[in-house]
Amino acid sequence: MSDSLAVSVAGLHHAYSERKALDGIDFGVLAGEAFGLLGPNGGGKTTLFRLLSTLLPVQTGKVTLSGLDVATKAQDVRQIIGVTFQSPSLDGKLTVWENLQHQAHLYGLYGVQSKTRIRELMDRLGLSDRGKDLAGSLSGGLKRRVEVAKSLLHHPQILLLDEPSTGLDPGGRRDLWEYLTRLRQDEGTTILVTTHLMEEAERCDRLGILNQGRMIALGTPDELRSSVGGDCLTIQTPNPEGLAELIAVRFQLRPQRIGESLRIEKSLGHELLRDIVAAFPGEITAISLARPTLEDVFIARTGHRFWEAEQP
């Protein structure tokens, strides 16, 4: 991994009519890094992805990829990026080989050069025996591999992946990320993914967490979890407001209300769990203790659960 920036985003704002989709986004991605944009649907991931991939014009702010300004050098940017969109782009009536061949032609790859690169990628992605299969007959996992192969034909410096695990089972997600890891190691490719899956986010070197168009947290998965502080105690109770007041008076703690639950961040959480259960046994229907997760980071920064942010 290099210390140079492959992606730089500064003061980025974007709006659709009166609705703000991005509200002052700033972050950078190091060359050779796997960077994740984690957030619920509607958080701004798709708009940011479209801006990075030159599909939307920059309204306010600056976006550069490998030093190229997306606003003024869009055509040059397209030559150095590979893009795998969430929506399928394969022609189901063509074979795997034909899909890749047509994509290669778009990047000026013909003849021996095209065939050599297609064979190389099919071998790396476990598609060597699928060249004559119709794309429409493939499983979701195999289709996704072909999508990734299409985006890599021209040796891009930066690979942009929008929800790359869409349609994949856990085994397919694991296989895809094993290949992406090899790609970074072998070719130094910078990888930027958007995702709403915590498991996928954990595989990234660093994360930016988006919510309502703002970057609410930035760092490695370990740094983000450590920022929560202590253990996370979740209490189910039929009377959240009343129990919150009782805990505040008894333990000088102010629980955070999340829906019909109470949440407390505290070091030595097992001791607090014991004391709360002993003090208010009749007020508690269930109680759990866990080390902080990325969802706990989201809750701590927004005051609501990750999936609740997706509600209109």
In this predicted model, what pLDDT tens digit does every residue of 58-89 receive, in sequence order? 999 999 999 999 999 999 999 999 999 988 88
For residue 284, is pLDDT > 90? Answer: yes
What's the chain's Rg over C-alpha atoms? 23
Q: What is the mean pLDDT of the chain?
A: 91
- pLDDT at position 304, please? 79
The pLDDT confidence band at residue 311, using thresholds 50, 70 and 90, is very low
Query: What band does 307 get if pLDDT is binned at 50, 70 and 90?
Result: low
Contact (Cβ atoms closer than 8 angstroms) between residue 36 and residue 195? yes
Which of helix, strand or coil describes residue 167?
Answer: coil
Q: Is the pLDDT of residue 226 over 90?
A: no
**Residue 13 contacts residue 22 (beta carbons within 8 Å):** yes
Average pLDDT over residues 299-304: 84
Judged by average pLDDT, the poorest of 69-73, 89-93, 229-233 is 229-233
Domains and CATH numbers, the chain: 5-224 (3.40.50.300), 230-291 (3.30.70.790)
309 pLDDT exceeds 60?
Answer: no
**pLDDT band per the 50, 70, 90 thresholds, residue 1:** low
- C-alpha separations of 225 from 66, 221, 229, 249, 259 in Å: 30, 6, 8, 28, 22
Query: The tokens of 109 are what?
Result: 């790859």
Residue 271: pLDDT band (50, 70, 90) is very high
| Partner residues linked to 110 by β-bridges | none
Please tell me which residue, 132 or 231, carries the higher pLDDT value: 132
Q: Tell me if 79 sits within 8 A of 108, measured CB to CB.
A: no
In which element (H, E) is residue 257 found? strand 256-258
Q: Does residue 219 have a pLDDT over 70?
A: yes
Contact indicator for 85, 79 with CB cutoff of 8 Å? no
Pure H helices in 125-233: 140-152, 170-187, 198-201, 221-228
Residue 2: pLDDT band (50, 70, 90) is: low
Residue 312, pLDDT score = 40
Q: Phi and psi (nearest 5°) for 94?
A: -105, 155
Which pTM value belongs to this model? Answer: 0.82
Q: How far is CA 46 from CA 49, 52, 78, 95, in A?
A: 5, 10, 18, 29
- Give how far Cα 106 sits from Cα of 96, 99, 101, 153, 306, Å: 16, 11, 9, 10, 39
CB burial of residue 200 (10 Å; 0-12, 13-18, 19+): buried
| 88 SS3 class | coil
pLDDT confidence of residue 258: 86
Please say if the pLDDT value at position 188 is more than 70. yes
Residue 21: pLDDT over 80: yes
**For residue 284, what are its two tokens?**
């508690």
